[in-house]
């Protein structure tokens, strides 16, 4: 993976990210393309159907019930390995008026609660990963107690692996995006007695924002603590329509604690 991953955004988002030193990781249920969360799920169900026979039907049937009822607690932020992609300027950077923030991929690897993963577009590799994940279930004794708490926990571990694969997999038609994702998997448990929700391994309090009549949950990933040897931001790419003056960007970055950031301009001729 490249050392620099780019977050394309409009000017207002750029200002907020730099001043707050924060990236938002949103629920996979609120991706721009809702079909993404079903991409791997459909492949998993298809593979289970291939595996199912009269001897293991009960085992897989119980697993599917758990799988269908468990909502993924996976939160992501999207980046790209491409520093000057026309499709990204159009879709995410205000039609070219915004910027691409070049983040240091190594910086995020210091956080144990965050995984950095290139999106997997190859369907054959996705199938191989699914087979690896389902293999322990396939080999599990058919005489196991499928109503036991032990089996439920066993299934939850497998489902978590499926959810992680879902969070980093897309249709190969999107390969041009060269997407990289930061992935966060907090544990969220509802206390049956108090009806309160207990959070574990979370990077922040769960926050909410209102978008188009919907409440979108997200977690805040701070990048306010760093040293000069491993800064979070390495460069800023100005979009093809961006109007920033380089000196003013440098002042803005310096005022917020970011120094020696390389400022570059898009080489795209896109102007309309």
118 half-sphere exposure, CB direction, 13 A CA radius: 14
Q: Specify the residue for token string 């999106």.
A: 119
pLDDT, tens only, 146-192: 999 999 999 989 998 998 899 899 999 999 999 999 999 998 888 88
Closest CA to 210 of 30, 89, 75, 17: 30
3-state SS string over 89-137? Answer: HHHHCHHHCCEEEEEEHHHHCCCCCCEEEECECCHHHHHHHHHHHHHHH
Determine the pLDDT at residue 39: 87
Q: How many CB atoms lie within 10 A of CB 81?
A: 17
48 close to 242: Cβ distance less than 8 angstroms: no
Segment among 52-66, 68-82, 102-116, 136-150 with least mean pLDDT = 68-82
Average pLDDT over residues 71-80: 89
Whole-model pTM: value is 0.89
Segment among 60-74, 101-115, 169-183 with least mean pLDDT = 60-74
Residue 270's pLDDT band (cuts 50, 70, 90) = low
CA angle, residues 256, 100, 72, in degrees to nearest 5: 95
Closest CA to 179 of 169, 188, 189, 187: 169
What SS3 class is residue 246?
helix
Element (H, E) at 184: strand 179-184
Distance of CA 100 to the CA centre of its chain: 17
| Sequence-ordered list of residues with C-beta below 8 angstroms from that of 195, at least 6 positions apart, any chain | none
Q: How is residue 198 written in tokens?
A: 């207990």
Q: Measure the CA–CA gap between 168 and 197, rounded to whole angstroms.
A: 27
Q: Specify the residue for token string 């977690």.
A: 219
Element (H, E) at 213: none
Q: Measure the CA–CA gap between 169 and 246, rounded to whole angstroms.
A: 37
Q: Measure the CA–CA gap between 254 and 149, rounded to whole angstroms.
A: 54
Q: Measure the CA–CA gap between 144 and 254, rounded to whole angstroms.
A: 61
Q: Specify the residue for token string 């799920």.
A: 41
Q: How is residue 97 written in tokens?
A: 């008026």
Q: How is residue 204 written in tokens?
A: 């922040």
Q: Per-residue pLDDT for 269 more than 90?
A: no
What's the mean per-residue pLDDT of the chain?
92
């Amino acid at each position: 993976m490249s050392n620099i991953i780019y977050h394309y955004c409009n000017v207002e988002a750029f200002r907020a990210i730099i001043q707050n030193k924060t990236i938002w990781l949103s629920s996979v249920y609120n991706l721009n393309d809702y079909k993404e969360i079903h991409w791997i799920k459909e492949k998993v169900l298809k593979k289970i159907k291939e595996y199912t026979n009269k001897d293991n039907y009960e085992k897989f049937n119980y697993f599917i019930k758990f799988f269908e009822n468990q909502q993924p607690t996976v939160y992501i932020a999207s980046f790209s390995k491409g520093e000057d992609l026309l499709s990204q300027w159009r879709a995410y950077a205000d039609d070219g008026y915004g910027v691409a923030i070049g983040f240091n991929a190594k910086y995020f690897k210091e956080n144990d609660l965050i995984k950095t993963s290139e999106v997997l577009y190859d369907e054959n590799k996705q199938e191989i990963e699914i087979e690896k994940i389902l293999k322990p279930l396939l080999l599990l004794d058919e005489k196991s107690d499928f109503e036991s708490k032990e089996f439920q926990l066993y299934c939850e571990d497998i489902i978590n692996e499926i959810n992680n694969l879902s969070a980093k997999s897309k249709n190969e038609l999107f390969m041009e995006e060269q997407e990289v994702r930061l992935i966060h998997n907090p544990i969220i448990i509802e206390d049956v007695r108090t009806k309160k929700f207990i959070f574990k391994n979370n990077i922040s309090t769960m926050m909410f924002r209102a978008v188009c009549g919907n409440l979108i949950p997200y977690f805040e990933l701070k990048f306010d603590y760093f040293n000069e040897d491993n800064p979070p931001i390495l460069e800023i790419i100005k979009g093809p329509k961006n109007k920033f003056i380089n000196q003013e960007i440098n002042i803005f970055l310096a005022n917020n604690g970011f120094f020696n950031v390389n400022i570059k301009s898009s080489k795209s001729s896109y102007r309309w």
